[in-house]
Amino acid sequence: MSKNLVVILGDQLSQNISSMDNFDIKNDTVLMMEVANEIEYVNHHKKKLVLIFSAMRHFANELREKKINVIYVEFDKSKKTFTEELENQCKKNKPDLIKITHPGEFRVLNEIKNWKDKLKIPVTILEDTRFFCEIKEFENWALSKNNLLMESFYQLMRKKFKILVDSEGKPLGGKWNYDVKNRKSLPKNHPKIPLPIKHEPDDITKNVISLVQKNFSNHYGSLDSFWFATSRKDALKSLDDFISNRLKYFGPYEDSMSSEEKFLYHSTLSVYLNIGLLEPREVISRVLEQKDIPIESLEGFVRQIIGWREYVRGIYWHLMPKYSESNFFDAKNNLPDFFWTSDTDMNCMKNCLQQTNDEAYAHHIQRLMVIGNFSLIAGLDPKKVCEWYLSVYADAFEWVELPNTHGMILFADGGILGSKPYAASGNYINKMSDYCKNCKYDVKEKNGKNACPFNYLYWNFFLKNESKIKDNPRLWTVFSNIKKMSKDKKQLIQSDSEKFLSKTIPK
Ligand SMILES: Cc1cc2nc3c(=O)[nH]c(=O)nc-3n(C[C@H](O)[C@H](O)[C@H](O)COP(=O)(O)OP(=O)(O)OC[C@H]3O[C@@H](n4cnc5c(N)ncnc54)[C@H](O)[C@@H]3O)c2cc1C
Ligand code: SF4
């Protein structure tokens, strides 16, 4: 009987993971490892470290309860890489075969591909079947298309899995996409929105919090009031809570922002989906079972999971490693210090950054239209921005972070993922949030020392990059306004931007 060593990574915490298929309880062993390199390769938020380690430890206990033999390697500075630790374990256990589910990062895949030669043991890498779309299937779709925009991929997934379609394969409600109904700002006297449930840390989580406090106090972010679920049982409670308390209004207020409401009607489920405590299929089927949910909420939510989430993963594996190397606008600026300290007079940025520091969470529009928009129009270096996003959010894994950051917000891929750069002036932020009313800057002012920096940086971005994007049909209005702009106005925009950037961007 062959003896398999099944390696389970920190974002594969699902009992249905493909590497556990045909697990032989008498002969096989699961190996889970907390190694230094995975903690230190970027400045991960402390809450992200607690989430992953605690969830791994809970998962190992769940496996043990099922009489599965688990070797769990707890953190110790001397345990550097997966490969080194695996080598130690193979010497002791002498497996015939190593099994692992396809990892979520290119860097880790490369490491795994070297195991066979290094360890002289065969290695099987299995498809990650938690996703709706296999890597190869996405690749075939991508190779058959001239452009890779999300909408046609999303419709394909809806038809294939018969989600929100009628018996003839037509979309329920008559439209594939209700995006136009997802853009309401939160009214002034909107009732308080129920917060996501907070899970009290148990003894396992408390131990991990102490470990992180002791060993990684220099990492980014606050450890106060840790509330994430770290077990499947609690993650399921979070799913119920979202469905009962926030799903109904998810759609209409999806794009809004509020200094009073950190989470609005968002699910906060990405953290659990991305590490395996919840599976996308079960989340979708639970949501579709609900009665009386308006179509703009139902479709809006489904689009995020079977559309965007699957699509960015497909893009990542289809285009890596070259994808991360492009820099369409040749943007080279360093990150301002306030990305780490939240200390800025721009109230929108301060709010979103402080929330990121406190919660290891910001919702999509904060990531996209505030921090992301600023990163784009301030010309920040894509590699540095990607590293920041990968560090600071508890749900950040490269397969999902990179396409969103490199492609969606920075347009560093030159337009593979988005049809135009998501640049916006202060007007957009003012329309969709209450941030501007408490800001030192005046959102109505276009130039001068009181003017909202988003206003002049927005025009400066288009002036600077005119030759690269002026023929984009979706930017026709922008460039026809630029044509009408006086030379003096252009100079004012450029000098305000230079002054702001020279004060803000470290050399
Ligand atoms: C610059 C930038 C970086 C991002 N980095 C990450 C990241 O590292 N990890 C991550 O999971 N998401 C990332 N996103 C996508 C999105 O912002 C988060 O998934 C979402 O904010 C998570 O909060 P939620 O669970 O409350 O989402 P909800 O608003 O409740 O959405 C439901 C679910 O849909 C999925 N989803 C929604 N939008 C996207 C998207 N654009 N791409 C992929 N999945 C999506 C998530 O699984 C999410 O849980 C990023 C977006 C931007 C603009
Ligand atoms: S005025 Fe400008 S900087 Fe201030 S909150 Fe509004 S958009 Fe942000």
* Residue whose CA lies nearest to ligand 2 atom number 6: 436
What single string gives the DSSP state of each residue in 89-157? HHHHH--SEEEEE--S-HHHHHHHHTHHHHHTS-EEEEP-TTSSS-HHHHHHHHHT-SS--HHHHHHHH
Counting ligand 1 atoms within 8 A of each CB, the residue from 304, 310, 366 with the most, and so the one to mutate, is 304
- Give the ligand with the smallest distance to the CA of 273: 1
Mean pLDDT computed over 488-505:
98
What are 257's two structure tokens? 């922002």
- Check whether residue 122 and residue 140 sit in a common domain: no
Do residues 435 and 393 share a domain? yes
Determine the pLDDT at residue 307: 98
Residue 87 lies in a domain: yes
Q: Residues 153, 107: one domain?
A: no
Three-state SS sequence of 20-48: HCCCCCCCCEEEEECCHHHHHCCCCCHHH
Taking 80 as the threshold, does the pLDDT of residue 1 lie above it?
no
Cβ of 452 less than 6 Å from ligand 2: yes
One domain, residues 116 and 140:
no
The answer on 116 and 70 residing in a single domain is yes
Q: How far is the CA of 122 from the centre of ligand 1 (A)?
A: 36
Q: 126, 143, 165: which is the final residue of a domain?
A: 126
The ligand minimizing its distance to the Cα of 437 is 2
Q: Which residues line ligand 1 (CB under 6 A)?
A: 266-270, 273-274, 304-305, 308-309, 312, 363-364, 367-368, 372, 389, 393, 395-396, 400-401, 404-405, 408-409
CATH of residue 487? 1.10.579.10
Angle at 48 between CA 45 and CA 49, to 5 degrees: 95
Give domain status of residue 354, yes or no. Answer: yes
- Amino acid letter for position 296: E
Q: Of all protein residues, whose CA lies closest to atom 1 belonging to ligand 2? A: 443
Residues 81, 144: one domain?
no
- Of all ligands present, the nearest one to the C-alpha of 431 is 2
**What's the rounded Cα separation, in Å, for the pair 95 and 436?**
61
Mean pLDDT of 216-237: 97
Ligand 2, atom 8: closest residue by C-alpha:
348
Residue 309 shares a structural domain with residue 378: no
Query: Is 324 a member of any domain?
Result: no
Is the pTM for the entire model greater than 0.85?
Answer: yes
The whole-number pLDDT of residue 355 equals: 98
The Cβ-side half-sphere exposure at 266, using a 13 Å CA radius, reads 20
Q: Are residues 74 and 49 in the same domain?
A: yes
**What average pLDDT score do residues 314-324 get?**
97
The CATH number covering residue 109 comes to 3.40.50.620
Inside any domain, residue 201:
no
Same domain, 111 and 153: no
Judgement on whether residues 121 and 140 belong to the same structural domain of the protein: no
**In a shared domain, residues 295 and 385:** no
pLDDT digits (tens, 9 = 90+) for 248-306: 999 999 999 999 999 999 999 999 999 999 999 999 999 999 999 999 999 999 999 99
Give pLDDT, residue 363: 98
Give the number of other Cβ atoms within 10 Å of residue 316's Cβ.
26
Which range is least confidently modeled, 17-21, 92-96, 179-183? Answer: 179-183
Give the Å distance between the CA of 270 and the centre of ligand 1: 6
Within a domain: 328: no
pLDDT of residue 155 exceeding 80: yes
CATH number, residue 260: 1.25.40.80
Q: Which candidate, 151, 417, 430, 453, places its Cα nearest to that of 306?
A: 151
Domain-located, residue 79: yes
For ligand 2, atom 7: residue with the closest CA: 426
pLDDT of 77 > 90? The answer is no
Q: What is the dihedral of CA 175, 178, 180, 183, to 10 degrees?
A: 170
What pLDDT shows up at residue 12? 98
Residue for token pair 């300290």: 341
**379-410 tens-digit pLDDT:** 999 999 999 999 999 999 999 999 999 999 99
Is 493 domain-assigned?
A: yes
203 in any annotated domain: no
Q: How many CB atoms lie within 10 A of CB 213?
A: 12
Does 79 score more than 90 pLDDT?
no
Of all protein residues, the one whose alpha carbon is nearest to atom 18 of ligand 1 is: 364
Average pLDDT over residues 358-379: 98
Say how many domains are in the chain: 3
Longest Cα–Cα distance of the chain, Å, equals 81
Residue 46, Cα to own-chain centre: how many angstroms?
17
Mean pLDDT over the full length of the chain = 97
189-201: average pLDDT: 96
Q: Based on the domain organization, do 307 and 160 belong to the same domain? A: yes
Residue 87: domain span: 4-126
